[in-house]
Homo-oligomer: A and B are copies of this chain.
Amino acid sequence: MGEAAKVHPDYKPQTAGSLKDYLARLPDVASRLGGKPDGWTVEEVGDGNLNLVFIVKGPSGGIAVKQALPYVRLVGEAWPLPLSRAHYEYMTLTHHGKAAPGLTPTIYHYDEAMALIVMELLQPHIIMRRGMIAGTVYPLFAGVISTYMANTLFATSDMALSAKDKKALIGDFAGNTALCKITEDLIFTDPYRIAELNRWTKPWLDGHAAAFRSDGPLKVAVSRLKVKFLSSAEALIHGDLHTGSVMLTEQDTRIIDPEFAFVGPMGFDVGAVIANLVINYLSQVGHEEKPGARDAYRDWVLRTAEEVWVQFRAKFIANWEKGGIGDAYPRDLFAGAEGQRTLAAEREAYMDRLWQDTVGFASAKMIRRVLGLAHNIDLEWIKDERLRATAEARVLELARDMMVNTGDYRKITDITAAARKANASQPKLTG
């Protein structure tokens, strides 16, 4: 781990010029681009918070190149961040690509010293979040994301793996602490205390922010979620599974950017997807041309949230039925018709517990996007600040209830119904 956090002597951040030379030395990649390097175009397009991203095109085809920087791009060198995150991203793409074939970008080349991954250029894919702000329907999304989660989480869980392989996986990702710490601080801690990095739509949400900082039950609830994040080694999770980590067309959906991956609680991934759909739903008030213009889209968003959970649950159970060869719930303990019935009921109970985790983590993801450092453009792009604050307050109030009264949300339709109610509410703003 200590090693991985260091910068390799050969490391240097790529520029358009240096990258051509670099790629020219990789025969497979060079032939994929075709022609000569001087006929290649290189564009730096990284719009994320952390890394360099280049799109390189040649006569025969294109590729994407992602390179980690030794600091947080959004903040600068004052916030160092280890290059090893490229290693964890690469490892996760490998694991998840195997568990969910075709749903992650294909890797062409990985360079540990350079903290650089050369991968498939996803084109004409766009970031799902942007499509949803524009009101684009993605009818295949629920099916794909539920498969991705059901396959990647199941395949790396104790129901699929021997304890030995599972512990090796835990060990392999135990060094990704710097990225985990970002989550621990920005999601589970800062929004609930005075912290320099917090920001919210002022003055409108001052009252909400202050109330959250002195809300005992809420702070206990988020701390219990943090404990789960710190100590619940259930499966290799993506760790940042929002709609900004999904690139898609209407036909093809891919999950990218798993650099926050580690062996953690499954509900964190599932909750992230649900949360970002609910946030988008509540943001539509700021994107429709006139009131009600996006009502059909709103319905699609919530139906999608419902489908995500329902399909995830069914697919996870199906994976378990088919591939439950791990050390948890050993098959020969539940042999025979009676044993099968018992295990089938326990699978449902297991998913009920995972659902409760999902509700909790979803709420934490919602709150951090309104009161913490990193906001979503679903909300940020609402120009009218009072309207934005109204949408944000609805997110906060719904999330607060989900976090403190998690047990009241027994099924996904309890969340979507509450979201509809929140969308019709008139939160009390400051100022």
Contact = CB atoms under 8 A, between A and B. Distances in A.
A223 interface: yes
Nearest to A178: B164
Interface in A307-348: 327-330, 332-334, 338-339, 341-342, 345-346
A231 B230 contact: no
A207 interface: no
Interface stretch (A32-40, A43-51, A55-63, A165-173): A165-173
A219 B170 contact: no
B230 A232 contact: no
A380 interface: no
A96 interface: no
A181 B163 contact: yes
Main secondary structure of the interface of A (DSSP, over half): helix
A338 B216 contact: yes
A158 B231 contact: yes
A112 interface: no
Interface in A334-372: 334, 338-339, 341-342, 345-346, 349
25 contacts: A1-B168, A1-B171, A158-B230, A163-B181, A163-B184, A164-B181, A166-B230, A166-B231, A167-B175, A167-B177, A167-B180, A168-B174, A168-B177, A171-B171, A174-B174, A184-B327, A189-B333, A216-B339, A219-B342, A220-B345, A220-B346, A223-B346, A226-B329, A231-B233, A232-B233
Interface of A: 1, 158, 163-164, 166-168, 170-171, 174-175, 177-178, 180-181, 184, 189, 192-193, 214, 216-217, 219-220, 223, 226-227, 230-234, 262, 327-330, 332-334, 338-339, 341-342, 345-346, 349
Given A167-B177, A167-B262, A230-B328, 10 more contacts: A163-B177, A163-B180, A164-B178, A164-B181, A166-B231, A170-B170, A170-B174, A171-B174, A216-B341, A226-B328
